[in-house]
């Protein structure tokens, strides 16, 4: 089984590894220690990174593909499968 980060879609083989990632290294998680680093919003498809989430969202829509937003809570997903799982 793979444990997927709900913020950045990275997969981890162990649940505790996912929790460690969420606390320490997930740039997308507002509660992460590294959330406020210089350019925390990085594209998962290329090397682009941004200081603002809106800039990354524009990049994802226009340069590297689409993003998927929940109609109910405005949470953003990079993959449609994660949005579908979120809606359940």
* Tens digit of each residue's pLDDT (9 = 90 or more) over 6-38: 888 888 999 999 999 888 877 778 887 766 666
Q: Are residues 29 and 56 in the same domain?
A: no
Q: Are residues 45 and 87 in the same domain?
A: yes
Q: Name the nearest CA neighbour of 26 among 16, 40, 46.
A: 40
Which domain, by its residues, includes 51? 39-88
* Dist CA 73 CA 44 (whole Å): 22
Q: Are residues 59 and 71 in the same domain?
A: yes
Q: Are residues 30 and 46 in the same domain?
A: no
Position 14 scores a pLDDT of: 94
Q: Are residues 6 and 49 in the same domain?
A: no
CB atoms within 10 A of CB 60: 21
Q: Name the nearest CA neighbour of 26 among 3, 18, 47.
A: 18
* Dist CA 2 CA 15 (whole Å): 8
Q: What is the model's pTM?
A: 0.42
Domain count, the chain: 2
């Amino acid at each position: 089984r793979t444990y997927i980060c709900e913020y950045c879609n990275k997969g981890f083989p162990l649940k505790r590894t996912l929790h460690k990632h969420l606390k320490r290294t997930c740039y997308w998680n507002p509660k992460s220690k590294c959330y406020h680093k210089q350019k925390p919003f990085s594209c998962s498809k290329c090397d682009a990174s941004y200081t603002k989430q809106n800039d990354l969202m524009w990049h994802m829509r226009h340069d590297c593909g689409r993003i998927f937003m929940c109609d109910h809570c405005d949470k953003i997903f990079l993959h449609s499968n994660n949005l579908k799982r979120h809606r359940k």
